[in-house]
């Protein structure tokens, strides 16, 4: 109780004290304000007048609650950064970087190491000459290998003997499988399977990019060919004698890739023996469509360039089954022609026209892009009206005569009309004599009809006209007739080349993907689209309302728009298709009789046995080209005689990671060399068209300066600069092109050979040093790479050069032995010039690499110093 009373008294005193203090402050405050106002008024009066004045008395002052208004913050205007400020910042950064470089990079030590190494201006002409010499020597070696296969094949064919009754051969499709003998019914005259039951031991080879055996050859038979046909087995049997030549070629040059002979009977014998499925990069469940007789290197070697006009009957009498077979035949024939051939597909009834309007009145190159466009357009055409055959033939002959007079048409070019029709109502022999008196145009007539349908005089009229024009007549009834008739047409058009058997033509192919077929890529793309459709249909069935919601449909629409505007972007690793070129030569039979038509029977003609060839993978070719001479910003490319690229750093042959682009073989030089001016796709400045014409057509060698847009890092960075282009032709088929920028014209040129003493000095410095080299250049390398990294490989060969006084720069002769060779006995090749340059620069930078302790402070964070060379 007493304590509570004390607390109450204290609170009361505190309350009284606070009130009195506030009142005092309030009174004092009012008096102070009043006095201040009176003084201020007096000052105002004195300032206004120099006369005596009486200041006013402030009688009443009232304090009000004043709320200060919120002041709006003034927007600070952006200050313009002047050029002088930028220069000062740049100088400060430059001084700091130079200070750090002087402290950590130690330029003086590097320059001292390179003091005895001379430098010179890059010579584009010298680089082109060196590259063409390398390419010319490689093509010559591969050409001699192909010709040795050709000579051996002709010798074997002239002395062939029938195969044993139980003969079997090693087939590439099941070479690594131990097979069991199949029981066969007594009613069958021929066996169903003629492949060997034995299993061949294969080893994985990086060089051949497949599982191979160097002890055997193996055979791949086309899908349409019956392997146990006695006519086929006869040729398979005698071609086994090619093994000795294959092995001899490989023994002389272990850098050789696949050697082969494609027989006109429809099989490919290749060395070394390899598992066929293993060579496909695109894994799909589609059939293996490979037929060596339809590959560009075979068709080019087996005949002169061709002008082919395919006439499709589009009259109302053509039923749906005839149209389907006609389209299948057209596709097969277009696929068999090469890019050197000219072709067009014309539909005829009362008018004659191409399904693509811009292809009228001309023939176009028979490349995959043009062929695919024509086949796609045919699907939307209908058969109507009647046929005016006189107008059709007259127009066709006129078009071919016009093509023959074109400036770029070779004199040896073959011209042919291939007509697919369901009926002929007249004999057009006299008409063809009148419109083509020289008889330079062949005529092939393929009769489309129902096997059990109505017969008319088509056989008589077509046979007479075709035979008179050095072609032939045949019936096209079922799907199985398509490939056979295409091959028959190609064989007839081979004869002018076969007649000149003493002049052997070497054919250098354009670039292509080993065993891949564009039709498999198209099939695979359809599979992907089908899988997408299946997934979307499943989503629709699970939740229809959500799948068809406005937000979902709008999102899909925006996604498609982005793909259309910016293209498809694939973040995975692209499939590395084995791109290559080939050298091939035709193989002729010494016999001169063959049954070419049912009417004529045996007729004296020259016959093509097949084509021999050797592959040159692009990766192998890149190894030996002197990229190290180009320097930063320089480029080296190879184009073929049509201006399409064979090698180029901007070539992109794969779409969506694993699909081979349909037109990958027909990418023009101007499509990858970008002019500096911004223009629409394929709308190039006139000076670039002139430059292309000089490079591809007019001048075998030359030099020209062009303003270009150089693309780096997959299109993420680009610069506009002037470049000097140098070019030179090789074998009248390829052209080497070197482009050098106007800047960075000087480079170091160590004057040394890859000597034993140089290797000793280099090994002392290098074996404990971290370094890396260009992954695609040839320094020193075993033909079948042995080491996992380039670093290990280079150290190994420097050590070998140090220890071996008589070290050879190239050892490419292979020794066949049952004993596995040791590492030192394996074949290899070295680039002496590049190895010498590398060693000299390693020695020059040796003192710089030995300094580890760097004194002093630095303010730029963690610093790593390195030396990057053009080697």
What's the CA gap between 234 and 322, in Å, rounded? 36
Q: Are 292 and 655 in contact (CB under 8 A)?
A: no
Q: Where are the beta strands (DSSP E) in 303-413?
A: 306-313, 342-348, 352-353, 364-365
- The two tokens of residue 714 are 């997959």
Nearest 5°: the CA angle 283, 289, 292 is 120
Q: Are 339 and 510 in contact (CB under 8 A)?
A: yes
Q: In which band, very low, low, confident or very high, does the pLDDT at 67 lie, cut at 50, 70 and 90? A: low
Nearest C-alpha neighbor of 836 from the set 773, 747, 759: 759
**622 CB-contact burial (10 Å; exposed 0-12 / middle 13-18 / buried 19+):** middle
Nearest C-alpha neighbor of 735 from the set 723, 726, 743: 726
pLDDT at 64: 47
- Tell me how far CA of residue 867 lies from CA of 375, 408, 451, 757, 766, in angstroms: 56, 52, 78, 24, 14
pLDDT at 749: 78
Task: Report the chain's mean pLDDT, rounded to a whole number.
Answer: 80
Cross-strand partners of 789: none
What's the CA gap between 102 and 104, in Å, rounded? 6
What's the CA gap between 607 and 590, in Å, rounded? 8
What's the CA gap between 147 and 246, in Å, rounded? 11
The three state secondary structure string of 467-498 is HHCCCEEEEECCCCHHHHHHHHHHHHCCHHHH
- For residue 818, report the phi and psi dihedrals to the nearest 5 degrees: -70, -20
Neighbours of 650 (CB within 10 A): 17
Nearest C-alpha neighbor of 413 from the set 497, 296, 509: 497
pLDDT at 421: 86
pLDDT tops 80 at residue 382: no
Helix 320-336, helix 481-492: angle, nearest 10 = 40
Neighbours of 803 (CB within 10 A): 12
Q: In which band, very low, low, confident or very high, does the pLDDT at 710 lie, cut at 50, 70 and 90? A: confident
Q: Are 628 and 518 in contact (CB under 8 A)?
A: no
Instruction: Quickly tell me which residue has 């589609």 as its tokens.
Output: 286
Helix or strand run (H / E) with residue 721: strand 717-730
pLDDT tops 80 at residue 647: yes
pLDDT at 248: 96
Q: In which band, very low, low, confident or very high, does the pLDDT at 220 lie, cut at 50, 70 and 90? A: very high
Is the dihedral angle over the CA atoms 744, 750, 753, 759 positive or is it negative?
A: negative
- Tell me how far CA of residue 307 lies from CA of 166, 241, 378, in angstroms: 45, 37, 20
Q: Are 512 and 629 in contact (CB under 8 A)?
A: no
Cross-strand partners of 270: 218, 260
**563-611 pLDDT, tens per residue?**
666 555 555 566 788 999 999 999 988 665 555 444 444 544 567 899 9
Q: Where are the beta strands (DSSP E) in 533-649?
A: 579-588, 593-597, 601-604, 608-617, 635-640, 645-647
> Once rounded to an integer, what is the mean pLDDT over residues 664-687?
86
* b/e sequence 550-568, b meaning 16+ C-beta within 10 Å: eeeeeeeeeeeeeeeeeee
Nearest C-alpha neighbor of 58 from the set 42, 77, 46, 44: 42
What's the CA gap between 355 and 348, in Å, rounded? 10
- For residue 388, report the phi and psi dihedrals to the nearest 5 degrees: -110, 85
- Residue 197: alpha-carbon gap to chain centroid: 39
Nearest C-alpha neighbor of 829 from the set 845, 852, 813, 850: 813
Q: Are 492 and 474 in contact (CB under 8 A)?
A: no
- Residue 674: alpha-carbon gap to chain centroid: 17
What DSSP line would sit under 13-63, residue for residue? Answer: HHHHHHHHHHHHHHHHHHHHHHHHHHHHHHHHHHHH-SS---PPP------
pTM: 0.78
pLDDT at 59: 47
pLDDT tops 90 at residue 255: yes
What's the CA gap between 863 and 449, in Å, rounded? 81
**235-247 pLDDT, tens per residue?**
999 999 999 999 9
| Bond into 272 cis (ω within 30) | yes
What's the CA gap between 285 and 530, in Å, rounded? 14
pLDDT tops 70 at residue 7: no
Instruction: Quickly tell me which residue has 């005895």 as its tokens.
Output: 116
Nearest 5°: the CA angle 810, 814, 816 is 160
Q: β-strands 306-313, 414-421: how paired?
A: parallel
Q: In which band, very low, low, confident or very high, does the pLDDT at 430 lie, cut at 50, 70 and 90? A: confident
pLDDT at 205: 92
Neighbours of 741 (CB within 10 A): 20
What's the CA gap between 583 and 601, in Å, rounded? 35
pLDDT at 606: 60
> Once rounded to an integer, what is the mean pLDDT over residues 698-727?
87
CB proximity list for 794: less than 8 A, separation 6 or greater: 773, 779, 780, 838
Instruction: Quickly tell me which residue has 């606070």 as its tokens.
Output: 18
pLDDT at 471: 86
Q: Which of 109-123, 206-220, 293-307, 795-809 has the lowest mean pLDDT?
A: 109-123
More confident residue, 58 or 158: 158
What's the CA gap between 870 and 226, in Å, rounded? 56
Cross-strand partners of 662: none
pLDDT tops 90 at residue 692: yes
pLDDT tops 60 at residue 4: no
Report the share of the chain in percent with pLDDT over 90: 27
Neighbours of 265 (CB within 10 A): 19
Helix or strand run (H / E) with residue 655: strand 654-655
More confident residue, 359 or 500: 359
**105 CB-contact burial (10 Å; exposed 0-12 / middle 13-18 / buried 19+):** middle
Most confident of the following: 206-210, 453-457, 768-772: 206-210
**144-189 pLDDT, tens per residue?**
999 999 999 999 998 889 899 889 999 998 888 877 666 655 566 6
- The two tokens of residue 132 are 């063409």
**20-51 pLDDT, tens per residue?**
445 444 444 556 655 655 555 554 444 433 34
pLDDT at 61: 46
Helix or strand run (H / E) with residue 612: strand 608-617
pLDDT tops 70 at residue 117: yes
More confident residue, 382 or 334: 334
**Rounded to the nearest 10 degrees, how much is the dihedral formed by the CA atoms of 746, 750, 754, 757?**
-160
- The two tokens of residue 605 are 């003609």
Most confident of the following: 24-33, 419-428, 727-736: 727-736
Cross-strand partners of 718: 711
Most confident of the following: 357-361, 409-413, 735-739, 813-817: 735-739
Cross-strand partners of 703: 726
pLDDT at 31: 60
């Amino acid at each position: 109780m007493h304590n509570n009373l004390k607390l109450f008294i204290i609170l009361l005193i505190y309350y009284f004290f606070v009130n009195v203090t506030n009142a005092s402050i309030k009174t004092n405050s009012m008096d102070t304000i009043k006095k201040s106002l009176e003084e201020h008024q007096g000052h105002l009066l004195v300032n206004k007048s120099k006369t005596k004045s009486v200041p006013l008395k402030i009688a009443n002052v009232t304090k009000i609650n004043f709320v200060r208004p919120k002041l709006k913050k003034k927007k600070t205007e952006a200050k313009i950064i002047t050029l002088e400020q930028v220069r000062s910042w740049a100088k400060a950064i430059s001084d700091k970087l130079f200070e750090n470089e002087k402290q950590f990079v130690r330029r003086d030590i590097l320059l001292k190491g390179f003091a005895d190494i001379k430098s010179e201006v890059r010579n584009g002409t010298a680089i082109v000459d060196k590259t063409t010499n390398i390419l010319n020597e490689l093509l010559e070696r591969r050409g001699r290998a192909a010709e040795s296969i050709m000579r051996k094949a002709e010798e074997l064919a002239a002395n062939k003997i029938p195969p044993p009754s139980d003969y079997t051969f090693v087939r590439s499709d099941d070479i690594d499988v131990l097979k069991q003998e199949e029981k066969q019914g007594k009613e069958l005259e021929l066996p169903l399977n003629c492949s060997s039951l034995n299993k061949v031991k294969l080893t994985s080879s990086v060089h051949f990019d497949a599982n191979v055996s160097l002890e055997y050859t193996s055979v791949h038979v086309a899908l349409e060919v019956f392997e146990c046909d006695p006519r086929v087995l006869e040729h398979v049997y005698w071609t086994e004698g090619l093994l000795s030549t294959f092995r001899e070629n490989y023994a002389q040059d272990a850098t050789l890739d696949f050697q082969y002979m494609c027989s006109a009977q429809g099989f490919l014998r290749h060395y070394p023996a390899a598992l066929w499925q293993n060579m496909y990069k695109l894994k799909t469940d589609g059939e293996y469509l490979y037929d060596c007789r339809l590959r560009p290197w075979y068709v080019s070697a087996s005949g002169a360039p061709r002008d082919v006009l395919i006439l499709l009957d589009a009259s109302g009498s053509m039923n749906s089954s005839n149209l389907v077979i006609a389209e299948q035949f057209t596709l097969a024939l277009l696929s068999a022609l090469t890019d050197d051939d000219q072709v067009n597909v014309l539909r005829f009834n009362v008018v004659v026209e191409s399904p693509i309007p811009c292809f009228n009145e001309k023939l176009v190159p028979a490349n995959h892009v043009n062929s695919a466009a024509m086949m796609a357009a045919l699907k939307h055409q209908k058969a109507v009206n009647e046929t005016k055959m006189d107008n059709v033939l007259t127009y066709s002959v006129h078009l071919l005569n016009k093509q023959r007079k074109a400036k770029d048409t070779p004199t040896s070019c073959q011209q042919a009309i291939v007509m697919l029709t369901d009926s002929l109502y007249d004999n057009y022999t006299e008409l063809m004599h009148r419109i083509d008196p020289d008889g330079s145009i062949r005529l092939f007539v393929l009769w489309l009809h129902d096997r059990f349908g109505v017969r008319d005089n088509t056989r008589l009229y077509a046979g007479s006209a075709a035979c008179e024009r050095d072609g032939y007549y045949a019936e096209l009834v079922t799907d199985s007739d398509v490939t056979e008739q295409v091959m028959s047409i190609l064989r007839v058009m081979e004869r002018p080349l076969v007649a000149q058997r003493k002049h052997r033509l070497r054919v250098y192919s354009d670039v292509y993907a080993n065993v891949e077929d564009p039709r498999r890529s198209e099939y695979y793309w359809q599979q992907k689209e089908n899988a997408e459709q299946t997934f979307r249909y499943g989503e629709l069935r699970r939740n229809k309302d959500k799948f068809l919601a406005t937000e979902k449909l709008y999102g899909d629409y925006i996604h498609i728009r982005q793909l259309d505007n910016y293209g498809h972007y694939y973040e995975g690793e692209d499939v590395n298709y084995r791109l290559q070129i080939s050298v091939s030569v035709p193989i002729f039979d010494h016999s001169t009789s063959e049954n070419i038509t049912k009417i004529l029977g045996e007729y004296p003609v020259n016959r093509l046995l097949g084509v021999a060839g050797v592959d040159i993978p692009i990766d192998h070719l890149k190894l030996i080209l002197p990229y190290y001479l180009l320097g930063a910003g320089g480029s080296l490319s190879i184009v073929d005689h049509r201006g399409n690229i064979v090698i180029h750093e901007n070539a992109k042959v794969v779409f969506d990671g694993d699909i081979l682009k349909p037109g990958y073989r027909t990418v023009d030089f101007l499509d990858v060399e970008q002019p500096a001016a911004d223009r629409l796709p394929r709308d190039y400045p006139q000076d670039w068209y002139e430059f292309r014409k000089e490079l591809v057509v007019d001048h075998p060698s030359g030099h020209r300066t062009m303003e270009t847009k150089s693309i780096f890092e997959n299109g993420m960075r680009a610069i506009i600069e002037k470049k000097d282009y140098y070019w030179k032709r090789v074998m009248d088929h390829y052209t080497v092109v070197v482009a050098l920028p106007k800047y960075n014209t000087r480079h170091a040129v160590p004057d040394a050979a890859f000597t034993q003493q140089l290797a000793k000095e280099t090994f002392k410095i290098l074996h404990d040093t971290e370094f890396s080299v260009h992954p695609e250049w040839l320094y020193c390398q075993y033909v079948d790479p042995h080491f996992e990294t380039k670093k290990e490989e280079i150290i190994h060969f420097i050590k070998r050069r140090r220890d071996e006084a008589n070290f050879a720069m190239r050892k490419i002769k292979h020794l066949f032995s049952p004993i596995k060779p040791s590492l030192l006995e394996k074949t290899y090749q070295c680039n002496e010039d590049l190895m010498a340059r590398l060693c000299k620069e390693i020695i020059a930078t040796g003192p710089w690499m030995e300094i580890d302790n760097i004194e002093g402070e630095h303010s730029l964070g963690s610093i790593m110093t390195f030396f990057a060379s053009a080697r």
